[in-house]
Amino acid sequence: MLIKNKIQQGVTLIEAMIALLVISVGLLGIASLQITAMSQNTSALNHNKAVWIAYTISDRIRANLPAFAAYDGIDTTGTYLQDCEGTECNNAQMVIADAADWQTMMTALPGGQGIIGSNADGLLISVMWDDDGTQTDPGCDPTDTNDLTCYTLAVAQPLAVGP
């Protein structure tokens, strides 16, 4: 019996070390999964904010239909100074006030930028942000890795309503 015990000396230590290695690899995998989940959660939050910001400006556009075309060309990198909360504004001033408020909303997104353009059917609202901290070019090309992440919303030209 003594010979058998001498042959098996250290085997338990090797088994424990292998078990520790397997557990360590598993814990590293769990940590990696947690980091990825947190990153994707932040990305989803930013996308949710972008959708909310786009729909907010689209609601403001619909509320100011007489100045629908004046919203074309708004870019939040510009300067807009108009406040219509304490004073009465006409439709053109409301467009500028909406642009100023929209510009403020963009600060909720990392590298947030908004542009309103037009197409044949109405207006295109684009909300762009830096989703992973490496994007630098303002644009919406999904194949260009340098372009910002983009959410685009189309607002149709209102139909003329007759008397």
User: Does residue 39 contact residue 31 with C-beta atoms inside 8 Å?
Assistant: no
* Listed residue (98, 92, 96, 97) closest to 67, CA to CA: 92
Classify residue 109 as exposed, middle or buried by CB count within 10 Å of its CB (0-12, 13-18, 19+).
buried
Distance between CA atoms of residues 138 and 150, nearest Å: 9
Question: Domain ranges in the chain?
Answer: 2-156
Q: What is the pLDDT of residue 160?
A: 61
Angle between helices 91-105 and 11-63 (to 10 degrees): 170
Q: What is the pLDDT of residue 29?
A: 93
Distance between CA atoms of residues 88 and 77, nearest Å: 26
Q: What are the residue ranges of helices labelled H in 74-158?
A: 91-105
User: Does residue 142 contact residue 135 with C-beta atoms inside 8 Å?
Assistant: no
pLDDT, one tens digit for every residue, the chain (163 residues): 455 555 556 668 888 899 999 999 999 999 999 998 888 888 899 999 999 999 999 999 999 999 999 999 999 988 888 888 888 889 999 999 999 999 999 999 998 899 999 988 899 999 999 887 776 666 666 666 667 888 889 999 877 654 5
Distance between CA atoms of residues 111 and 117, nearest Å: 19
